[in-house]
Amino acid sequence: MQFAICINTDDPDLLTPRMIYEVVPDESAARSNTIRVIDNEGEDYLYPVSHFVFVDSPASTPYSLPNHTS
């Protein structure tokens, strides 16, 4: 699983700066300089790569991220 931290947004209802989002693999998105993430509405959507900083996560961690629920 890959995660990214939002650092910029054009729509604060869909993305929250400093929030961690799950990245959904999408080769086509990568070629167009976008990434697909699960946004605040729980939908996967394409956003500009420039809106995020990727987070490296070890395969196993002693903790887990809380689930995001609205």
- Judge whether 67 lies within some domain: no
Q: Rounded to whole angstroms, how far apart are CA atoms 69 and 55?
A: 21
Q: What is the pLDDT of residues 17-38, one digit of tens each?
A: 999 999 999 999 989 999 999 9
- Judge whether 12 lies within some domain: yes
- Judge whether 46 lies within some domain: yes
What is the number of structural domains in the chain? 1
Q: Is the pLDDT of residue 60 over 70?
A: no
Q: What is the pLDDT of residue 33?
A: 95
Q: pTM score, two decimals?
A: 0.78
Sheet holding 44-48, edge to edge: 44-48, 34-38, 20-24, 2-6, 52-55
